[in-house]
Amino acid sequence: MPNIIVLGAGMVGGAIAIDVATHLPTATVIAVDADGDKLNVLRGKCSRISTIKADLLSAQNVSGIVKQADLVISAVPGFMGYGVLENVISAGKNVVDISFFPEDPFDLAPLASKMGVAVVFDAGVAPGMCNVIAGYYSRRMDIKSYDCLVGGLPFKREMPLQYKAPFSPDDVFKQEYIRDARYIENGQLVVKSALSDVEFIRFPEVGMLEAFNTDGLRSLLTMFPQIKNKRERTLRWPGHTGWIEGLKKLGFFRTEPLAINGTVIIPLDVTSRLLSEKCKLEHGEDEFTVMRVTMRGSSMGAWRQIVYDLFDKYDSKTDTSSMARTTGYTCSAIANLVLNKKIPALGMFPPEIVGTIPGCFEFIMGYLRERNVIYRVRESAIQ
């Protein structure tokens, strides 16, 4: 009877805990969070989940809580993700992580090897499932270009930002919109500012969206060097980028201290707090996740293009957001692979490597289909 501990009981962490508890009836599932209200909501949705209220910024708390775990799933906000993951690895526990922290996960590789644990990081939708797809096809064709478009958005477009964050808003405004975007073009690293190179792309389910550069390639930036063109872009409703860029030009995203009437503030901290309050996804709010992964390359002398399209909506029957479904269920599928020892080695595993392991891609896709998270595949010849 496996003992599974989920660190973080927010929108995505809660969905993971419920999914694991529902579909692994012999497992003991414990959710941990500093927010007692989130834990109360989670217990109300699934009586099989036990809860612990604890501050996960404390290394002592983390090591004590995971002591009896067979597997740990980390779904904490990005700003605390690296520290929590390091503490879990130090405790000698296998872990699947979706916290999307800014630090380099491979810095923890020596520790993971020393402790003899399997660590799958960035195990969500993007990064995550898009990487798994790339890894799977890297064994089946000579990929020359990889492009990922992804976004989570509300159906209701409220001006001026037309955006609600389906996960930690603070991570979006303090990381995604600040960090320079890195991608590979003709085999060379290209660095541009976040939100640059806006392009408009039409999707059949929702119409026109805007795409812009973000630093989302993660481990794919250096993995599979044979892919000479690699890029990830974020999707928003048209006009969103202009508003954010305007705030940046006015200084609202500055990180240098600013003294006002004897009080020192960081403008970005204030901006993030104000925007986060306005951009929190409301309970039951209708939203969607859209992703398109396009790969071009050759196989057996023939050039072809393969496109994976995902469009997923809030599930009112289970009261689960699309981002929680697409991110959380990918994570719990990979957690099942770790539990069942389908990942045959120990150390740090980016999701694209999971995709290269025989049977793992098929298992994850089947797992998602059972939960009505559907990827549509289009393949065409390139002349």
Distance of alpha carbon 138 from alpha carbon 295, whole angstroms: 10
| Nearest partner of 358 among 125, 136, 141, judged by Cα | 136
CATH number of 129-313: 3.30.360.10
Position 90 pLDDT exceeds 90: yes
CATH number of 3-125+323-373: 3.40.50.720
Q: What is the arithmetic mean of pLDDT over 197-209? A: 97
What would the pLDDT profile of 276-306 be if each residue is shown by its tens digit?
Answer: 888 888 888 999 999 999 999 998 889 999 9
Q: What is the arithmetic mean of pLDDT over 153-160? A: 94
Which amino acid would we find at residue 236? R
| Nearest partner of 220 among 272, 178, 273, 182, judged by Cα | 182
Position 166 pLDDT exceeds 70: no
330 with 129: CB under 8 angstroms? yes
166 with 322: CB under 8 angstroms? yes
163 with 237: CB under 8 angstroms? yes
Which amino acid would we find at residue 243? W
Give the pLDDT of residue 265.
94
Transcribe 91-109 into DSSP letters: TT--EEE----SS-GGGGH
| Nearest partner of 101 among 87, 118, 113, 114, judged by Cα | 87
Give the pLDDT of residue 332.
97
Distance of alpha carbon 371 from alpha carbon 369, whole angstroms: 5
Please state the domain extents for the chain. 3-125+323-373, 129-313
